[in-house]
Amino acid sequence: MVQDTSAKRSVADLNIDDPVQLEVTRNYLIGTCEEMGAAMLRTSYSTMFNEARDFSCVVFDAAGQMIAQGDFCPAHIGAIVHTVEWAIKEVGPENMHPGDVILHNDPYRGGCHMPEFMTLKPCFYKDEVVAYAANIAHMTDIGGMVPAAFGDTRNIFQEGLRLPPIKIYKNDEPVEDIFAIITSNVRTPKVSRGDLMAMVGSTYLAERRIVDLIDRLGIDRFDLLSEQIKDVSEVMMRQAIARMPDGAYAAEGIIEDDGVLPDTSYRFAAEVNVRGDEIVVDYTGSDPQSAGAINQSFGTTASATYATIFHMIPDDIPWNHGAYRPIAIVAPPGTVVNVNYPGSCVGGNSDTYPNTMDVLFAAFSQMSDRSQACDGGTSGLLGIYGTNIDTGEPFVLLHIEGMGCGGRIDADGNDAMVTKNGNCLNSPCEVIEVRYPVRIEEYSVIPESTGPGAHRGGFGVRRIWRCLAPITISAHVNRTWFRPWGLKGGEPAGNAALLFKTAGSDRWLSAKDLYDRISAGKFSNVELDEGDLIMLCTPGGGGYGAPHERQPELVRQDVADELIDAQAAEQTYGVVLDGAGVIDADATRLKREEMSHAAT
């Protein structure tokens, strides 16, 4: 039975009888999650798993509440509390047996979006379910009209194969009929089956670790410690929220288009209500759901909400079910933040999610200095499909690109970093070139792409691909015209760009201009020939604080690193350099006094 800790004001009130054993157990379970991830990394087939590491591993107790998570992908960790709960309730613990593994990817059943497959293994001890091991992982191809799923889909049926909670393992054996359905509906059956087996294998590993722990502790002690793990986190989370000033803090942002309706943007509105030791986030006022793929499922919106709030908490809190208890979410159905069936939502979990976090950070910035300026805010998703030159087999590559993070009160934003909802790694050029018929002609930081500020944003990147064979490309890219905003006087950053140059041409053109697509950033199934070039440029992050308050030495260093030029140093930051690149202190002081006076 879950204890009511709402009246408990400190961890001491919980009467923990053995805090050392509690901490050892908690870390053992976290280590189990990390070990699950290591197993997936080593046994998987796709670059989404073994390079980007786009997966997350968790352990739930017998009540279906998360007691441990690995340090993996925030987009999964926030949604999995809903995904697992739904699967347990729909299948029913009474219908689970040793050797079962359940699979589920339905975004309308608490999930993120359809590429995120969830495997769930009930862990048995003496014929009783005592815990659940689960993971969510991004399957590169799920069938549908778009290789790698991301493009201008208009409904869930175009996205791919949607599965309710079903058993893919029984009696420790794969249910081959289910595997046959999956592999018959994807373009890369060998890779898809290999990745699924990596997911299943990790849950078996977790079950062994959990059973070993219960053998040492006993089931009653394990159950008690599981409750205490959650209760400690809840009390710590409530204490952290209680230190925030009560009030309602509102902000909004936009997604520039959905790839279906031309020149139509969509408003995301959020109000963060801090009430004592609880937070209610209300998305009422967000636009109705779009015709395209930018919509978020409830699981995605919940995940973005949790991730932002956790960013705002300075305390070192163990993130488990207890930390989620003080947070409530209002997301009206039929809007861009809670899509209704059968609306498309594949882009919501990858390219809309960071926008939602940026909106929440803007709201939190009204009451806290822990917030940050807007990120570049796009995952730069490219889905590439073709035939491997060496093997003759089909391949599907989903490429995730880094962008610039927003500046914050005490530091510049990071450069070339995958969006904060992903926590993924971008695949090395060498790996891409070995596995796929492309050559990376350039991969570089883009000078001047960042938002100026006392702490500037991070820089975006440019990557140019040359096709070594015919390929088909689809894309889901944001911020091609809507600029990432700054905070506290910081300035906005630059834009994303996805451009093409056909073989023999000297002009870079967008898909909108060259291939007559509705959107420059969201489209499906453009066919490219050998020798064609692709250029993806991602935005930098917005600046934090007035640019003329930036430390002159940091400006000088950016000029020396060729990230900005001397003219930008003077005109944007008020730092005057002589011909040798040395700061002219007197001229800089006068220039900054002039800029400060103009700002007031």
Q: Give me the mean pLDDT over the 498-507 stretch.
A: 96
Alpha-carbon distance 158 to 73, whole Å? 26
Q: Is 554 strand, coil or helix?
A: helix
Alpha-carbon distance 189 to 179, whole Å? 9
- For residue 6, pLDDT beyond 60: no
pLDDT of residue 425: 77
With cut-offs at 50, 70 and 90, classify the pLDDT of residue 15: confident
The CA–CA distances, whole Å, from 249 to 318, 328, 357 equal: 26, 15, 14
Residue 273 or 425, more confident: 273
pLDDT of residue 427: 78
pLDDT of residue 3: 43
Q: Give me the mean pLDDT over the 445-451 stretch.
A: 94
Alpha-carbon distance 139 to 191, whole Å? 9
51-60, 342-351, 437-446: least confident range: 51-60
The CA–CA distances, whole Å, from 243 to 233, 376, 385, 590 equal: 16, 30, 51, 42
Number of Cβ within a 10 Å radius of residue 11: 18
pLDDT in tens, 218-275: 999 999 999 999 999 999 999 999 999 999 999 999 999 999 999 999 999 999 999 9
- For residue 422, pLDDT beyond 80: no
The pair phi, psi for residue 363, each rounded to 5°, is -65, -45
Averaged pLDDT of the chain: 94
Alpha-carbon distance 385 to 191, whole Å? 14
pLDDT of residue 548: 97
With cut-offs at 50, 70 and 90, classify the pLDDT of residue 51: confident
What are the residue boundaries of the structural domains of the chain, listed by start?
11-233, 372-545, 548-599
- Choose among 81, 76, 32: nearest CA to 54: 76
- For residue 5, pLDDT beyond 60: no
Q: Is 443 strand, coil or helix?
A: strand
pLDDT of residue 8: 59
Give the residue carrying structure tokens 């309602």: 248
Kindly state the helix (H) or strand (E) to which residue 558 belongs, with its residue range: helix 552-560
Kindly state the helix (H) or strand (E) to which residue 163 belongs, with its residue range: none
- For residue 94, pLDDT beyond 50: yes
Q: For the purposes of burial, counting CB atoms within 10 Å of the CB of 20, is it exposed (0-12), middle (13-18) or buried (19 or more)? A: exposed
Q: CB-based contacts of 150: which residues, under 8 Å, 6+ apart? A: 293, 346, 347, 350, 351, 381, 383, 398, 474, 475, 476
Predicted structure pTM score: 0.95
- For residue 77, pLDDT beyond 90: no
Alpha-carbon distance 456 to 233, whole Å? 34
pLDDT of residue 7: 52
The CA–CA distances, whole Å, from 32 to 71, 77, 120, 354 equal: 12, 15, 15, 29
With cut-offs at 50, 70 and 90, classify the pLDDT of residue 75: confident
Residue 282 or 82, more confident: 282
Alpha-carbon distance 88 to 435, whole Å? 38
The pair phi, psi for residue 26, each rounded to 5°, is -60, -45
Strand ranges inside 407-538, DSSP E: 438-445, 461-467, 471-476, 497-501, 509-510, 522-528, 533-537
pLDDT in tens, 280-311: 999 999 999 999 999 999 999 999 999 999 99
Q: CB-based contacts of 320: which residues, under 8 Å, 6+ apart? A: 65, 66, 67, 68, 69, 229, 230, 233
pLDDT of residue 175: 98
Q: Give me the mean pLDDT over the 376-386 stretch.
A: 94
Give the residue carrying structure tokens 């260093």: 557
Alpha-carbon distance 338 to 303, whole Å? 12
Residues belonging to the chain: 600
